[in-house]
Chains A and B, each alone.
Chain A
Amino acid sequence: MKKPELLVTPQSVDHVKALLQAGADAFVIGEQQFGLRLAGEFSVSEVEEATKLIHAAGKKVYVAVNALFHNEKLDALAEYLKEMQRIGVDRLIYGDPAVLIIRREQGVTIPLHWNPETTATNWFTANYWGKRGATRAVLSRELSLDEVLEIKENTEVEIEVQVHGMTCMFQSKRPLLGHYFLYQDKVMEIENRKENRNMFLHDDERNNKYPIYEDANGTHIFSPNDMCIIDELGELFEGGIDALKIEGVLQTPEYIVTATEAYRQAIDTYFDESEDAYEDIKDDLLAKIEEIQPAIRPLDTGFIFKETVY
Chain B
Amino acid sequence: MALVLEQNDKIREILDGKRVITKKPELLAPAGSLEKLKVAVHYGADAVFIGGREFGLRSNADNFSIEEMREGVEFANKYGAKIYVTTNIFAHNENMDGLEQYLKDIESAGVTGIIVADPLIIETCRTAAPKLEIHLSTQQSLSNWKAVQYWKEEGLHRVVLAREVGGEEMKLMKEKVDIEIEAFVHGAMCIAYSGRCVLSNHMTARDSNRGGCCQSCRWDYDLYELEDGEEKALFDDNHAPFAMSPKDLKLIEAIPHMIELGIDSLKVEGRMKSIHYVATVVSVYRKVIDAYCADPDNFKIKREWLEELDKCANRDTAEAFFHDAPGHEEQMFGVHGRKTTYEFAGLILEHDPETKMVTMQQRNYFKPGDEVEFFGPEIENFRFTMGEIWDEDGNSLDAARHPLQIVKFKCDTPLKPHNMMRKENN
Binds B, one of A1-9, A46-54, A121-129, A234-242: A121-129
Asked, given contacts A68-B141, A223-B202, whether A176 binds B244 with beta carbons under 8 Å apart, the answer is yes
Q: Which of B94, B197, B246, B328 is the one whose CB lies under 8 Å from A182?
A: B328
Q: Does A221 lie within 8 Å of B212, measured CB to CB? A: no
Q: Does B150 lie within 8 Å of A170, measured CB to CB? A: no
Residue of B nearest to A69 (CB): B144
Residues of A within 8 A of B207 (CB): 142, 308-310
How far, in angstroms, from A147 to B92 measured CA to CA in the complex?
Answer: 8
How far, in angstroms, from A151 to B90 measured CA to CA in the complex?
Answer: 14
Query: Is A86 positioned at the interface, with any CB of B under 8 Å from its CB?
Result: no
Query: Is B409 positioned at the interface, with any CB of A under 8 Å from its CB?
Result: no
Among residues 16 to 53 in chain A, which have CB atoms less than 8 Å away from a CB atom of chain B? none
How far, in angstroms, from A36 to B417 measured CA to CA in the complex?
Answer: 54
Residues of B within 8 A of A219 (CB): 244
Among residues 93 to 122 in chain B, which have CB atoms less than 8 Å away from a CB atom of chain A? 93-96, 117-120
Q: Which of B119, B145, B331 is the one whose CB lies under 8 Å from A179?
A: B331
How far, in angstroms, from A151 to B92 measured CA to CA in the complex?
Answer: 9
Range, interface on chain A = 35 or more
Residue of B nearest to A123 (CB): B93
Q: Does A172 lie within 8 Å of B191, measured CB to CB? A: yes
Binds A, one of B4-12, B219-227, B359-367, B378-386: B219-227
Tell me what chain A mostly uses at the interface: helix, strand, loop, or mixed.
mixed
Among residues 122 to 173 in chain A, which have CB atoms less than 8 Å away from a CB atom of chain B? 122-125, 128-129, 142-143, 147, 150-151, 154, 167, 169-173
Residues of A within 8 A of B325 (CB): 173-174
Query: Is B91 positioned at the interface, with any CB of A under 8 Å from its CB?
Result: yes
Residues of A within 8 A of B151 (CB): 97
Q: Does A100 lie within 8 Å of B196, measured CB to CB? A: no
Asked, given contacts A121-B90, A169-B202, whether A97 binds B192 with beta carbons under 8 Å apart, the answer is no
Residue of B nearest to A120 (CB): B90
Per-residue interface assignment for chain A, residues 74 to 92, with 1 indicating a CB less than 8 Å from any chain B CB and 0 otherwise: 1000000000000000000
Query: Is B75 positioned at the interface, with any CB of A under 8 Å from its CB?
Result: no
Binds A, one of B44-52, B234-242, B302-310: B234-242
Q: Does B93 lie within 8 Å of A150, measured CB to CB? A: yes
Among residues 119 to 158 in chain B, which have CB atoms less than 8 Å away from a CB atom of chain A? 119-120, 123, 139, 141, 143-147, 149-151, 153
The smallest C-beta distance from A167 to any residue of chain B, in angstroms, reads 8
The smallest C-beta distance from A29 to any residue of chain B, in angstroms, reads 22
Residues of B within 8 A of A121 (CB): 90-92, 118, 209
Residues of A within 8 A of B211 (CB): 310
Residues of B within 8 A of A177 (CB): 223
Residues of A within 8 A of B172 (CB): 71
Query: Is B326 positioned at the interface, with any CB of A under 8 Å from its CB?
Result: yes
Residues of B within 8 A of A71 (CB): 144-145, 169, 172-173
The smallest C-beta distance from A274 to any residue of chain B, in angstroms, reads 31
Residue of A nearest to B139 (CB): A119
Asked, given contacts A170-B196, A308-B207, whether A182 binds B327 with beta carbons under 8 Å apart, the answer is yes
4 nearest A-B pairs in the assembled complex, by CB-CB distance = A310-B212, A179-B328, A98-B146, A201-B221
Residues of A at the B interface (CB closer than 8 Å) are 68-71, 73-74, 96-98, 100-102, 116-119, 121-125, 128-129, 142-143, 147, 150-151, 154, 167, 169-174, 176-184, 189, 193, 196, 198-204, 206, 208-210, 212, 218-219, 221, 223-224, 296, 303, 306-310
Can you add 9 more A-B contacts, CB < 8 Å, to A96-B144, A96-B147, A167-B202? A118-B197, A119-B118, A121-B92, A170-B197, A173-B325, A178-B328, A180-B242, A182-B327, A196-B225
Residues of B at the A interface (CB closer than 8 Å) are 59, 90-96, 117-120, 123, 139, 141, 143-147, 149-151, 153, 162, 164-165, 169, 172-173, 191-193, 195-199, 201-203, 205-207, 209-212, 217, 219, 221-227, 234-236, 239-240, 242-244, 246, 321, 325-328, 331, 333
